[in-house]
C-alpha cells in the first residue's frame, strides 16, 4: 500500500493549520508588548512636558 497520498494530504492540511496556530500565537504574544510601548511613550512624553515646563518657568518642584 502506497502511503504517499496520505502523507501529502497530511502535509497540505496540517501544515497550514500549524502555520495559522503559530501566527496566532505570535500575534497574541506581541499584542501585550504594544501596550508596554504605549505606556513607555506616555511616560516619556510626561517627563518631557515637565522638563519643558521647568525650562520655561525657571522653577523646579521640590
Is 2 a member of any domain?
Answer: no
- Name the residue range of residue 32's domain: 23-62
- Say what the pTM is: 0.49
Q: Hey, CA dihedral for 8, 12, 17, 22, is it positive or negative?
A: positive
Is 4 a member of any domain?
Answer: no
pLDDT of residue 15: 93
* Integer Cα distance of 55 and 29 in angstroms: 40
Is 8 a member of any domain?
Answer: no
> How do residues 3-61 score in pLDDT, each as one tens digit?
778 888 888 999 999 999 999 999 888 776 778 888 999 999 999 999 999 999 987 66
pLDDT of residue 48: 96
Name 60's Cβ contacts closer than 8 Å, sequence gap at least 6: 54
Amino acid at each position: 500500500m502506497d502511503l504517499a497520498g496520505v502523507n501529502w494530504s497530511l502535509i497540505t492540511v496540517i501544515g497550514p493549520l500549524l502555520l495559522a496556530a503559530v501566527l496566532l500565537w505570535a500575534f497574541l504574544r506581541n499584542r501585550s508588548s504594544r501596550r508596554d510601548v504605549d505606556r513607555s511613550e506616555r511616560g516619556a512624553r510626561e517627563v518631557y512636558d515637565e522638563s519643558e515646563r521647568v525650562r520655561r518657568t525657571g522653577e523646579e518642584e521640590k
